[in-house]
Structure 1
Amino acid sequence: MPIGAEQRLELECPAKVNLTLDVLERRPEDGYHYIRSVMVPISLCDRLILEPAPEGITLECTPAVTGRVEENLAYRAAVLLREATGYPGGVRIRLEKAIPVAGGLAGGSTDAAGVLLGLNRLWGTRLTREELIRLAVRLGSDVPFFIVGRPARVEGVGERVTPVPAARPLWLVVTTPPVAKSTGKVYELFDQLPSVPFRPDAAAVEAALAEGDPVGVARGLCNVFEAVMLPRHPEIARLKEALLAEGALGAVMSGAGPTVFGLVPDEVAGAALLDRIRPLARGAWLTRCAAAPSAACGADSC
């Protein structure tokens, strides 16, 4: 079937976790922080359904979106692609959410990337990956990662995405405590630290991924935002401690939190840990490294 001929596309849009996350200096022109992070997509997914329409862009979300539809990243992605390409038609977007909102798992960003990738195929707009990444960074710093759709080192303000080899899947128990947070506030608190007490060794984690060494990956898990989140939210610290006490090889907060995940040796160990940890968390899932929606459009998967 030629590109642009599909009448309906369904995509799974995976969450991500940060194996490492370092926050660096600010970009002079706009004050955005540079970051350096090793990220992997995981098998906790939202489901995205795209159907062409003669005109207009509509979004139906389950559960229902909060706030204005026009502010939703999936909707904004469709508007951006249409404006960038001059495509004359429209689309009906249906989004079934499973990724926790504001959890540090980039649920909105993966949905936006899914829309960019899916509509590029559905509409036949034929943008290259590099062109899609340039659009993606205008939507958010995590969106370009999902365009690439595999384990990667992410730098700059999210626009520099370098795939890294992963010799074997990672199994993770992902948990969310009942904590609300604002990413902007987390950055503000981070900027107030007199010094950063720890920094990740991203190169060591990348090497362990390439060697298929989950113990080495676990040893290198590190997120500088823990320096501000764990002291202020003991629920996060307790969940991390519980994951380690119940057998995780390593545990760390993802993104700006509050989600915490534990790395386990394999699926069997993960299932056992999930049973023990579920009563302590608002939500808990056993996941593995997964391909982002770009896999449906020809990109490599992990």
Structure 2
Amino acid sequence: MESVRLKARAKINLGLDVVGRRENGYHDVRMIMQTVGIYDRLVVTKIEEDEVKIHTNLGFLPVNENNLIYKAFILMKETYGFKGGIEVDLRKFIPVSAGMAGGSTDAASTLFAINKLFYLGLNLRQLMELGVKLGADVPYCLLRGTALAEGIGEELTTLRPMPDCHIVIAKPPISVSTKLVYEKLDSDEVEIKHPDIDGIISGLETGDLYEVASKMGNVLEQVTIPMYPVIDTIKNDMLECGALNAMMSGSGPTVFGLFEDEERAKACQEFLRQKQDARQVYITDVFNLVNGGKK
């Protein structure tokens, strides 16, 4: 049987701004997206049966039409009409419902795998155009690296790579409804302060990690943190441990901190684990394609 093995990598948002709301309910955004070293492992095998079978190490994950892997297969099947199906072994390591695009990156890797296994000959741009039908983050998860995302997140511009650093990732044991966060942002309850997205881009252009860190900002924190103050607690703990800056990724609840010094990052990880405000705490790094990254 033909198989492909893939690393579906997570993302963080170095900056996230919401600049408008469309009539269909979608929001126009300006975000700086960055791939990190944490990844899920997928083994995708071509099978004769005209279906998708999903096996995973997490019993609570859906393995039916509610899984984006399943939806990616159906989309490709309906679009290109190839014969046969796939069997997917998913080893999940990216925190779930964490603002790190775990589901989207699994879907992106599935599109990539199907294109290869069934010899569809699609280029990256064509895969990205398909991916946006599954979710706004999927095109970026196909592109990866450092990018400015605009529109609903599907208009992508590649940026200078993020400077190398150590990243502490901490997810508290809560789930955040992205829909609810955006609904509250749309209400008159929140006085929106917009982050300096152009300042982050300037720091990337000069390769200045300190400038990138100082300009980081996420407009959704103004909604999510009042609902879940533990996010702010973890941010402050990271800063106390020596992070150049710390911020919530996406709509939360995951918090990440940037560290120049690996020992400080390790000390922060140990401190957060002992304090137990976060259930999952990892140290990872920047993943840039220019540094030899591969699918």
Q: Please, what TM-score do these two structures have when normalized by structure 1? A: 0.91
Given that 2:52 and 2:85 are in contact with CA atoms closer than 8 Å, whether structure 1 keeps it comes out as yes
Task: Give the one of 160, 170, 175 matched to 2:170.
Answer: 175
1:192–1:167 distance in 2 versus 1, CA, 3 Å: closer
8 A contact 1:218–1:250 mirrored in 2: yes
Cα deviations across residues 97-156 of structure 1 (Å, max 9, x unaligned)?
Answer: 111111111100000001011221122111121211111111111111011111101111
* Match in the other structure for 1:148: 143
More displaced stretch, 272-281 vs 19-28: 272-281
Q: Secondary structure at the match of 1:256?
A: coil
- For residues 1-302 of structure 1, what are the structure 2 equivalents within 5 Å? 7-28=2-23, 30-55=24-49, 56-67=51-62, 69-166=64-161, 168-194=163-189, 196-280=191-275, 281-290=278-287, 296=294
Output the CA distance in 2 between the equivalents of 1:196 and 1:36.
18
Amino acid at match of 2:263: V
In structure 2, distance between residues paired with 1:104 and 1:253: 8
What is the percent sequence identity of the aligned residues?
A: 37
Measured in 2, the distance between the counterparts of 1:267 and 1:77 equals 38
Work out whether residues 36 and 286 of structure 2, in 8 Å CA contact, stay in contact via their aligned partners in 1: yes
The separation in 1 between residues aligned to 2:193 and 2:112, in whole angstroms, is 37
Aligned residue type for 1:7: E
| Superposition CA RMSD, Å | 1.9
Tell me if the contact between 2:184 and 2:190 (Cα under 8 Å) persists in the aligned partners: no
Of 189-198 and 234-243, the range deviating more from structure 2: 189-198
Q: CA deviation at 1:254?
A: 0.4
CA contact (8 A) 1:189 1:228 kept: yes
- Cα offset for 1:68? 5.8
Moved more, 164-173 or 221-230: 164-173
Query: Helix, strand or coil: the match of 1:258?
Result: coil
Q: CA deviation at 1:83?
A: 1.6
Residue aligning to 1:3? none
In 2, the alpha carbon distance for the partners of 1:12 and 1:260 equals 22
CA distance in 1, matches of 2:62, 2:88: 17
- State the Cα distance separating 1:86 from its structure 2 match: 1.6
Q: How far, CA to CA, are the matches of 2:59 and 2:173 in structure 1?
A: 20
For residues 146-190 of structure 1, the C-alpha deviation after alignment (integer angstroms, 9 at most, x for no partner) is 111111011111211111111632321110112221110111111
For 2:82, the aligned partner's letter is: Y
Structure 1 pair 252–14 and aligned structure 2 pair: CA distance change class (3 A): same
Aligned equivalents of 2:34 and 2:80: distance in 1? 30
The one-letter code of the counterpart of 1:34 is D
Aligned residue for 2:130, secondary structure, equals helix
Mapped partners of 1:95, 1:69: distance in 2: 13
**Contact 1:166-1:211 at 8 Å conserved across structures:** no
Q: CA deviation at 1:210?
A: 2.9
Q: Distance in 1 between matches of 2:179 and 2:206?
A: 36
Q: Secondary structure at the match of 1:112?
A: helix
Output the CA distance in 1 between the equivalents of 2:63 and 2:86.
Answer: 18
CA-to-aligned-CA distance 1:194-226 (integer Å, 9 cap, x gap)? 554421111211221232221111101100011
2:75 match: secondary structure? helix
Residue ranges of structure 2 left out of the alignment (5+ in a row) = none
Unaligned runs of 5+ in 1: 1-5, 298-302
Q: Is the 8 A contact 1:154 1:161 kept in 2?
A: yes
